[in-house]
Amino acid sequence: MPWTMENYPDSLKNFDKPIRKKTIEIANAMIDDGYNERDALPIATKQAKEWIENASKKEIEDFNQNAQVLPAKTRETHSSPSLTNRNQKVVKHDNGWAVIADGAKQASDVFSDKQRAIKRANEIAENKGTKVTIIN
């Protein structure tokens, strides 16, 4: 189900408006990229909180006042597999080790410890029935 500022999961009801809005924006984009709602929401929440921590007050105000949160598109494409069907990679990252789906633009998780990243990649791959590649 695509989310809006009027229709969103109960888990977001106690968030301040900018965090809720950013979470919805990110989650809807992830759903458009093939993530399922169950996986998209916690990742989007984490990323929204990180964005709020790093954004200036002006950026937050501008986003809060001007950004429109559009519902996720319902699209079916058969030309390329969705991110939910893609293998996971563990790759070196500026902040340690990242877990990222093949073809994704952004990591789902970043860990300072390689073993924790591998563990998380294996969890995701097991849930999806895919494989893990570790790139040193």
pLDDT for the residue 13 = 92
Per-residue model confidence as pLDDT tens for the chain (136 residues): 578 888 888 999 999 999 999 999 888 888 877 788 888 899 999 999 998 898 888 888 888 787 777 666 643 333 344 566 788 999 999 889 999 988 888 888 888 999 999 998 888 888 778 899 999 8
CB 102 within 8 A of CB 54: no
Task: State the DSSP string of 32-52.
Answer: HTT--HHHHHHHHHHHHHHHH
- 102 DSSP assignment: T
- 94 DSSP assignment: T
**Lateral strand order in the sheet of 109-111:** 109-111, 96-101, 88-93, 132-135
Dihedral over Cα of 115, 85, 127, 31: its sign? positive
| In the block, residue with structure tokens 């888990």 | 11
pLDDT for the residue 79 = 33
pLDDT for the residue 91 = 94
pLDDT for the residue 43 = 92
Q: How many CB atoms lie within 10 A of CB 8?
A: 20
pLDDT for the residue 115 = 92
pLDDT for the residue 129 = 81
